[in-house]
Structure 1
């Protein structure tokens, strides 16, 4: 561990300025007049006013129709000198509003329960809980002006202005409105080192103002999601109508809108508004839209449509999970309807299985199984070169892939990188990840042999150690494990494993076996460990079936506890 990193008291201001400067440098032509004015007004402020504004903008405050509310007398920041003067300059710059006109219900949350009790024009029971107290005060209609005056006496209330403009800056920088300046803090603390990928203008995600506005509109709709889901079908459909149109080439917004429509449609299904749900699913280009439509059709007794949708999936599946669904659901539906035709029962994977009885211990069952496998057969002669077994789960093959395709992963694909603090390209967990880089990936896979793989992997291991990569868990890739894996696993096995991982990285990077065993005699074997009562998950079953099809050595080891 290195020395603890001590951040400057106003580290947040440096990070904020870096963010807005980054956006203006790359997107100034796409910003509105008000957004540009917001930037220049902020930059013209004295240092303490900048600090105060960023502090308040980063805090939640009390929401109101005038902006997030704060009490000046309750603010205390040791790094801000003359806080009232800093606030006054922000008021002059229209970045704060002093003592805005507020409804009483907007003022009450600013004050403590004791303060509300003290300012009440009439005595109220002290046992009242906060919500009941506020309700009782709001019901004193005739006394409302006196209460408002009593609360405001000696107080300066501040409402943050122009926060909506910063939303545009955040969107342009992060690509979403869910992140915040924490990423800078993690970098400054040394918790993350990021790859130095290019951020040239031609590859930036936003290329027009209309595109930015459509993303902002999407987030406006997302704010309404919970309310619509609770309200019912009419509100759900009304929200669906408000979703923005998508221009060609904006894969990010396509994905986001598909996820939102899938959520809306699934709730319509639960509410038995099946026609409306089906219409929304038709507007979705990604799984599981076709699966849900097939289920809806069969639920309504339209077997032909349900089977036709399963056939459509099998002809062009978006991913393996969708294909597995179509095979299983199509066969079961056809069998039940006595329309089997060409439908065949799905193949069932029966992996090689062994059951062992071990004494119970506090260690993880996978580590106990690894120790058992390293001992080999109890009846065998002592081996001067013992078996070696490592607990790897999803880290080994993902990690080697991440090292092998490092340069492709961080290549300047249009729209992949919004800012310098991304662990992965924005499309990493989507079906677009492989498609956008297909030519480069296919060429790299075609070049794969043992020597080429080892050379690239070791080069990136030495050059990039500690740099964030979504596939590489550095602490789980010790050199002895990596050395054995690159020596023992044949090139055609690496090729098969990499191809399946890349075909649907979002789903396939999970479910890999727990252990890799390197027998003393050579070769390797993948071992999935199941403790008492544990069962294979679907993604694990799909990996085991893939191993069987491609002669990749594997087995399932069931562990039972030795009875006392």
Structure 2
């Protein structure tokens, strides 16, 4: 890939793009302080803006002047003075010595000890012990350090956090996404970003998301605490809003993490209480397991029946059938035995070599026809090419900014539900030439653009041509519908290889090396293939001397 030279002030352009986007689309939802932050930043000259963005992208709030060097800024001192006048920066603020000391190197702190005649006492200490020893004399250390160098303290971080949240829809992403685009490392599809389709529609909604992230930041500290602390932590989370599915998903994931930790602490009643508040699998599964563990088989079976009546995932459905059978059998209750499926399996002995077991199997099967190592990429890829415009359709709350590789609800059941009419109309094209035309057109014209289903490096024109020719429309539809019903789980677990015999047809082959066996999601796919008469098998490879 050809190297891309970014302009010296690329980061300022990206920052302006972000804050201008939010100010334009979310003006009515911003607080007075956030509007002041934006107006203040816009009021200063470009050099001051560059310095502010440079400091904002660094760790912490305090910075020493002598440690700053930016060739694209004419005068850091002048820029700092302008920022100070706009309220975006404090110069030599009054702060506690404990906050200042970490800004200085150990050598600089030892130089202070020389001046104080205490080097012999302190020079054998490690960094942490040295800081503690100096802070014992906090007043004199503070006076000395505050005068050792000009210190800048940046303001407005809290306001910018809101801008980032409104722009990205989360606080995991940052301005790095711009750089990836500018360097040509990631190309994004263009999609609608109209106000009515954006994630946030009220200030209260923004506040709930901010509260969620404040809590999430504390999780690593809290997770090791006792049960009561975990329950109190959960009580401090924002309330769910049925209209805000994005926040509900995030709260459910965090709740599941807390509940599982409560289980590990043997706080089973508290864990059950948290699972009860969670709609996301495997909450009901965990409640069934907890009931069985607590000696309540009737309750465990009731949970399994609830799941069977209205499953939220295939994994949950499989669990309920198998677990319910085990509990019922143990306690003399009537329960149908889950069907067992023996997957067609062939064992072959191949010569060990540098290639992976999948590539070795593909080479072995080449004697039976054209064989491709595709794993999950073929059916995912063709689906992504076929419904490309639907993936990026303007659906409320799906897209927050120009740097998304997928809509926000892509891995949720909401994805296919919110686009049901579009998908049904598209599936009606599967039996005609429009299917092939759409896939091939998007393969040519969208190549390189990020799509959550399309792994470009694994797709070739030959593979797509053969697949579209050999795989019946009915099979594509069955597989597509299963994938879309539960993309988080069903985009994975597909067989490693696709084999096209010389004359017609196709076969899907899962490869297993010595000691390896089918995972649960792979077995569910194999059962699905058997149900719909899709040719499949497992090729079990053993290594040997084939000379």
TM (normalized to structure 1)?
0.94
The CA distance in 1 between the partners of 2:89 and 2:413, in whole Å, is 45
C-alpha displacement of 1:288: 0.8
2:409 alignment counterpart: 427
Q: Deviations over 1:159-217 (max 9, x none)?
A: 11110000010001000011001111111111122111111111111111111111111
Residue 84 of structure 2 contacts residue 90 of structure 2 at CA under 8 Å; is this kept in 1?
yes
2:142 alignment counterpart: 148
1:498-517 equivalent positions in 2, closer than 5 A: 498-517=480-499
| Alignment partner of 1:363 is 2:355 | yes
Residue 23 of structure 1 contacts residue 172 of structure 1 at CA under 8 Å; is this kept in 2?
yes
Residue 527 of structure 1 contacts residue 556 of structure 1 at CA under 8 Å; is this kept in 2?
yes
The CA distance in 2 between the partners of 1:290 and 1:202, in whole Å, is 35
| Alignment partner of 1:530 is 2:492 | no
The CA distance in 1 between the partners of 2:291 and 2:262, in whole Å, is 14
2:125 alignment counterpart: 128
Q: Deviations over 1:281-308 (max 9, x none)?
A: 1111111110111111111111111100
The CA distance in 1 between the partners of 2:482 and 2:524, in whole Å, is 11
Q: SS of 2:270's equivalent?
A: helix
1:337 alignment counterpart: 331
1:215 to 205, 209, 234: 209
1:64 alignment counterpart: none
Residue 242 of structure 2 contacts residue 248 of structure 2 at CA under 8 Å; is this kept in 1?
no
| Alignment partner of 1:559 is 2:541 | yes
Q: Deviations over 1:325-377 (max 9, x none)?
A: 111111111112222x1x1222222111111111111012111111111123x
Q: SS of 1:354's equivalent?
A: strand
Q: SS of 1:368's equivalent?
A: helix
1:65 alignment counterpart: none
Q: Deviations over 1:67-115 (max 9, x none)?
A: x111111111111111111111111111111222222221121111111
1:104 alignment counterpart: 97
The CA distance in 2 between the partners of 1:531 and 1:423, in whole Å, is 34
1:380 alignment counterpart: none
1:198-347 equivalent positions in 2, closer than 5 A: 198-339=192-333, 341=334, 343-347=335-339
1:23-42 equivalent positions in 2, closer than 5 A: 23-42=22-41
C-alpha displacement of 1:248: 3.0
Q: CA RMSD in A?
A: 1.3
Unmatched 5+ stretches in structure 2: none
Residue 89 of structure 2 contacts residue 154 of structure 2 at CA under 8 Å; is this kept in 1?
yes
2:423 to 425, 441, 444: 441
Please say which of residues 508-517 and 147-156 is displaced more in the overlay: 147-156
1:456 alignment counterpart: 438
C-alpha displacement of 1:125: 4.0
1:354 alignment counterpart: 346
TM (normalized to structure 2)?
0.97
1:74 alignment counterpart: 67
The CA distance in 2 between the partners of 1:252 and 1:144, in whole Å, is 47
Residue 450 of structure 1 contacts residue 486 of structure 1 at CA under 8 Å; is this kept in 2?
no
1:381 alignment counterpart: none
C-alpha displacement of 1:513: 0.6
The CA distance in 2 between the partners of 1:117 and 1:450, in whole Å, is 79
Across the two proteins, how many residue pairs are aligned to each other? 542
Residue 351 of structure 1 contacts residue 555 of structure 1 at CA under 8 Å; is this kept in 2?
yes
The CA distance in 1 between the partners of 2:218 and 2:355, in whole Å, is 47
2:467 alignment counterpart: 485
C-alpha displacement of 1:487: 0.1
The CA distance in 2 between the partners of 1:312 and 1:367, in whole Å, is 44
2:503 to 513, 516, 521: 521
The CA distance in 1 between the partners of 2:321 and 2:206, in whole Å, is 41
C-alpha displacement of 1:309: 0.3
Residue 174 of structure 1 contacts residue 418 of structure 1 at CA under 8 Å; is this kept in 2?
yes
Residue 224 of structure 1 contacts residue 239 of structure 1 at CA under 8 Å; is this kept in 2?
no
Unmatched 5+ stretches in structure 1: 62-67, 377-386
Q: SS of 2:171's equivalent?
A: coil
C-alpha displacement of 1:246: 2.8
C-alpha displacement of 1:135: 2.3
Please say which of residues 310-319 and 144-153 is displaced more in the overlay: 144-153
Q: SS of 1:412's equivalent?
A: coil
Residue 162 of structure 2 contacts residue 210 of structure 2 at CA under 8 Å; is this kept in 1?
yes
Please say which of residues 452-461 and 278-287 is displaced more in the overlay: 452-461
The CA distance in 1 between the partners of 2:144 and 2:511, in whole Å, is 68
The CA distance in 2 between the partners of 1:348 and 1:106, in whole Å, is 64
| Alignment partner of 1:189 is 2:186 | no
The CA distance in 2 between the partners of 1:247 and 1:415, in whole Å, is 14
The CA distance in 2 between the partners of 1:519 and 1:235, in whole Å, is 61
The CA distance in 1 between the partners of 2:231 and 2:430, in whole Å, is 50
| Alignment partner of 1:160 is 2:154 | yes
The CA distance in 1 between the partners of 2:341 and 2:392, in whole Å, is 36
The CA distance in 2 between the partners of 1:469 and 1:524, in whole Å, is 26
Q: SS of 2:317's equivalent?
A: helix
Q: SS of 1:356's equivalent?
A: strand
The CA distance in 2 between the partners of 1:445 and 1:503, in whole Å, is 14
1:388 alignment counterpart: 370
Q: Deviations over 1:124-154 (max 9, x none)?
A: 343322122222223x2xx322112222223
The CA distance in 1 between the partners of 2:92 and 2:331, in whole Å, is 71
